Chain A
Amino acid sequence: MLRLAFRNLVRRPLRNGLAIAGLAVAVAVLICLSAFGDGYRRALGTELDRMGLQMMLVPLGCPYDAAARVLKGRTLENSLPGSALEEARRDPAVAVAAPLLMAALPRPQEGRADMWVGLDETALALKPWWRVKAGEKWFSDDASVILGSDAAEVEMRAPGDWFYSPETGQKLRVAGVLERSGTSDDSLFFVPLRTAQSMFQQTNRLTAVAIRLRDPALLREASERLQRIPGAQVVTLTEMMGTFLNLVGAVRTLLFSIALVAVAVSVLSVFNTLLAAVVERTNELCVMRAVGASRSQIAGLIATEALLLACAGSVAGIALAAGIGSGVEHLVKQLLPLAPAERLLSLTPENLLQCAGIGTAAGALACLYPAWRASRLKPAEALKAA
């Protein structure tokens, strides 16, 4: 029966091919959405864990926006008083409190901005991915700068070279150049915190303080204490992650409903294909009935054809999802509020099987009426009509 069903499908390659393609697209969309949800949650969690931060002190304003901007190497409009750092460091639960001062100097002619970041030694504890390509890993003195990989290439700088900031009149010696990391660090100019504060007339001001706790279990009580620092607010990375996941979850639900519409359309397409096949092959099916095929065998033949179509559509959908996964991921990363560098599409056997199962079930659903109709054909009437 399987061979017969396969031959029947091969006889109409265009029609069946289109039905398979429709089902493949629906399955691919389902797989991508399912894999994206799992992958984003995992990647975000991994990266926040890897940073070793539990919270950030940011100036008053929207805390999530502020924390996201700091993590992505962008500036804030407000700043924190330096006393916030001292108070954070005095807190018994705080293991590392790393101050940051960020400033952007627009270069409109070049369509970009010089991004300067002031750091102190504690930043190294929170930047384990820093790898130096050339020179030193830390500033030799207050008048030195460490350049991100792209910044060094554009400015043609190497360790030992001078580097000048025309807007602030600061001459700096290049202490080191970082290896390319694919992060925002690649295009940043890092200077000692004091130097940055002096360059941008932000004496004793900070953009943010990144905090690692001695014990993550102390998060709640530490957060309550730090929240009392004047002019500052605490945003925990768990809260940030929750907010991002809620945002992404809402979008995902919307997209899932669109994917379900695609699945429904593909069910109709398979249904139409099978029904047309039954109508076209009425005489053939009647002959089969006349020579002894039972109703259940005829229904089984149509169901087998439907399942073959659905399986082929599911396999093609999996391949399509694997093929276009990178493109979809690239597109999604452009739109996400905080895009981890890790793969967002996590194609696990579980979600592949789930989606292939949905595709196959769609095929099974689509075959019910055509199979029933084929099994009800009356050989005598059909042959008489022919």
Chain B
Amino acid sequence: MFRPRVLAGGAVLLLLTITAWRLIESSSSPEIPFETKNKPPPPAPLCPWRDPDADLKLFFPEATRCELETRVLSGLRLELARRLGRTPTGDENALRVHRIYRDHDPIGSILTRRVKGAFGAIELVLAVNADGQTRGLRLQRLREPESVAGTLQNPDWLHSFTGKRADSPFKLGLDIPDVTGESRGSAEAIAEGVRSLLILLAASDQSGLQSRGVPSHH
């Protein structure tokens, strides 16, 4: 007889507490006029892969499927700091890898990254062979002036990244063809972006960090 009463009393008390809490919360309103229909996007959004069909055709024409893996690299920060030569950024705690397969055999990966160009963000699509060697690079989005964009999207310049590995040198003018004037800042950002991606991928591969993949493209 005692137990149901205690339970009912407890339930009523819980309901009243929730109600009071919600009432208190609802009384504090932000002083912001006219909210947009959608919630503001999260800060520093991840770089999406905008055109998988075209990139697969370009870099992995033999591919039959693709899986997205998210590798958590927070346990490798010390090693990453050593290899990158700088403190890893918050975004580098995780790496999104699009694993490319021909039937059941992995033949490589596609990685994307947003880097700070001289006139706006530049988005890279980096194709890497299964052995960690760069297969190709494409700039999927940039807002540089025409002359700069022309230099950076020059196939010869982009091709100079082919064959690079995580431990390869990326010095502009020595290992990568130099560019001049306004293009230089963006070119350096691209080279650093490619180098960082290769290091993150190599470190995660060597540590056996492979999550279960989710099909991302067929």
Contact = CB atoms under 8 A, between A and B. Distances in A.
A338 interface: yes
A319 B43 CA distance: 34
Given A109-B50, A322-B19, A333 B37 contact: yes
A87 interface: no
Interface in A1-45: 6-7, 10, 43
A346 B145 CA distance: 51
Given A10-B4, A163-B120, A325-B22, A315 B16 contact: yes
Interface stretch (A164-172, A276-284, A376-384): A164-172
A315 B36 CA distance: 34
A381 to B, nearest CB: 32
B172 interface: no
A90 interface: no
Contacts of A340: 33-35
A209 B39 CA distance: 27
A156 B21 CA distance: 39
B40 A180 contact: yes
A225 interface: no
A323 B22 contact: yes
A50 B31 contact: yes
A109 B51 CA distance: 8
Interface stretch (A182-190, A210-218, A358-366): A182-190
A182 B32 contact: yes
A325 B118 CA distance: 46
Contacts of B4: 10
Contact of B34 (A7, A110, A150, A339): A339
Interface string B26-59: 1001111111110011011100001100000000
B37 A339 contact: yes
Contacts of B140: 109
Interface string A129-167: 100000000000000000001100111110000111110
Chain B CB count within 10 A is highest, among A10, A164, A342, for: A164
A373 interface: no
A51 interface: yes
A18 B140 CA distance: 57
A47 B21 CA distance: 25
A124 interface: no
B31 A347 contact: no
B26 A341 contact: no
B15 interface: yes
A316 interface: yes
A322 B16 CA distance: 10
A80 B15 CA distance: 56
A73 B145 CA distance: 27
A108 to B, nearest CB: 10
B158 interface: no
Contacts, number: 123
Nearest to B35: A341
B184 interface: no
B12 A110 contact: no
Contacts of A260: none
Contacts of B146: 166, 169
B174 interface: no
A322 B202 CA distance: 50
B15 A183 contact: no
Contacts of A323: 18, 22
B218 interface: no
A322 B118 contact: no
A183 B33 CA distance: 7
Given A319-B15, A345-B26, A183 B32 contact: yes
A166 B5 CA distance: 71
B143 A164 contact: yes
Given A47-B33, A347-B23, A157 B50 contact: no
B165 interface: no
12 contacts: A6-B5, A51-B33, A150-B40, A150-B41, A154-B45, A155-B120, A156-B117, A156-B120, A182-B30, A319-B15, A323-B22, A342-B29
Interface of B: 1, 4-5, 8, 12, 15-16, 18-19, 21-23, 26, 29-37, 40-41, 43-45, 50-51, 114-121, 140-141, 143-146, 149
6 nearest A-B residue pairs (beta carbon): A322-B22, A164-B119, A341-B35, A319-B15, A156-B116, A341-B32
Interface of A: 6-7, 10, 43, 47, 50-51, 71-73, 109-110, 129, 149-150, 153-157, 162-166, 169, 171, 180-184, 186-187, 312, 315-316, 318-319, 322-323, 325, 333-334, 338-343, 345-347
